[in-house]
Amino acid sequence: MTEARRFDIVIIGAGIAGSALAAALSGKGFAMALVEAQSLALPELPAPRDLQSFDPRVSAITPRSRQLLQEVGAWETVASYRLCPYRHMTVWDAEGTGGIDFDCADVNAQALGYIVENRAIVSALLAQVAASSDVTSFSEARLLDCVRHEATGTMRVALEDGAVLEADLVVAADGALSRVRDMMGFATREWDYGHRAIVTTVQVEQPHQDTCWQRFLASGPLAFLPLPGEPDRHYCSIVWSMRDELVDEVLALEERDFCCRLESAIEGRLGKVLHTAARFAFPLRQRHAVDYVQPGVALVADAAHTIHPLAGQGINLGLQDVAVLAEEILAGQSRGVRPGQLALLRRYQRRRKGENLLMMAAMDGFKALFEQQALPLRWLRNAGMRRVSQMGPLKQQLIRRAMGVG
Ligand SMILES: Cc1cc2nc3c(=O)[nH]c(=O)nc-3n(C[C@H](O)[C@H](O)[C@H](O)COP(=O)(O)OP(=O)(O)OC[C@H]3O[C@@H](n4cnc5c(N)ncnc54)[C@H](O)[C@@H]3O)c2cc1C
What pLDDT does residue 388 have? 64
pLDDT at 228 over 80: yes
What pLDDT does residue 402 have? 77
pLDDT at 396 over 90: no
φ, ψ for residue 136, nearest 5 deg: -100, 125
279-337 pLDDT, tens digit each = 999 999 889 999 999 999 999 999 999 988 887 889 999 999 999 999 999 999 999 99
Asked if the structure places residue 95 within a domain, the reply is yes
Asked if the structure places residue 403 within a domain, the reply is no
Asked if the structure places residue 107 within a domain, the reply is yes
Ligand 1 pocket check: which of 224, 241, 315 to mutate, most ligand atoms within 8 Å of Cβ? 315
Question: The domain containing residue 295 runs over which residues?
Answer: 5-368
Q: Does the beta carbon of 316 sit less than 6 angstroms from any atom of ligand 1?
A: yes
344-390 pLDDT, tens digit each = 999 999 999 998 998 888 777 766 666 666 666 666 666 666 666 66
Q: How far apart are CA 60 and CA 311, in angstroms?
A: 9
Asked if the structure places residue 78 within a domain, the reply is yes
Q: How far is the CA of 117 from the centre of ligand 1 (A)?
A: 12
- End-to-end, the C-alpha distance of the chain in Å comes to 53
Asked if the structure places residue 393 within a domain, the reply is no
Asked if the structure places residue 397 within a domain, the reply is no
What pLDDT does residue 96 have? 67
What pLDDT does residue 379 have? 65
Asked if the structure places residue 380 within a domain, the reply is no
pTM over 0.85: yes
Portion of the chain with pLDDT greater than 90, in percent: 72
Closest of 68, 62, 55, 118 to residue 85, by C-alpha? 62
Q: How far apart are CA 24 and CA 135, in angstroms?
A: 11
62-86 pLDDT, tens digit each = 999 999 999 999 999 999 999 999 9
Which atom of ligand 1 is closest in space to residue 173's alpha carbon? 26
What pLDDT does residue 108 have? 86
293-308 pLDDT, tens digit each = 999 999 999 999 998 8
Q: Does the beta carbon of 237 sit less than 6 angstroms from any atom of ligand 1?
A: no
Q: How far is the CA of 248 from the centre of ligand 1 (A)?
A: 23
33-46 pLDDT, tens digit each = 999 999 998 877 87
pLDDT averaged over every residue in the chain: 91
Contacts of 262 (CB under 8 A, 6+ apart): 202, 222, 238, 240, 273, 276
**Mean local confidence (pLDDT), 3-32:** 97
Asked if the structure places residue 398 within a domain, the reply is no
Q: How far is the CA of 253 from the centre of ligand 1 (A)?
A: 27
Q: What is the CATH number of the domain that holds 298?
A: 3.50.50.60
Q: Does the beta carbon of 13 sit less than 6 angstroms from any atom of ligand 1?
A: yes
Ligand 1 pocket check: which of 302, 319, 401, 403 to mutate, most ligand atoms within 8 Å of Cβ? 302
Q: How far is the CA of 305 from the centre of ligand 1 (A)?
A: 11
Q: How far is the CA of 14 from the centre of ligand 1 (A)?
A: 9
**Mean local confidence (pLDDT), 96-124:** 89
Q: Does the beta carbon of 73 sit less than 6 angstroms from any atom of ligand 1?
A: no
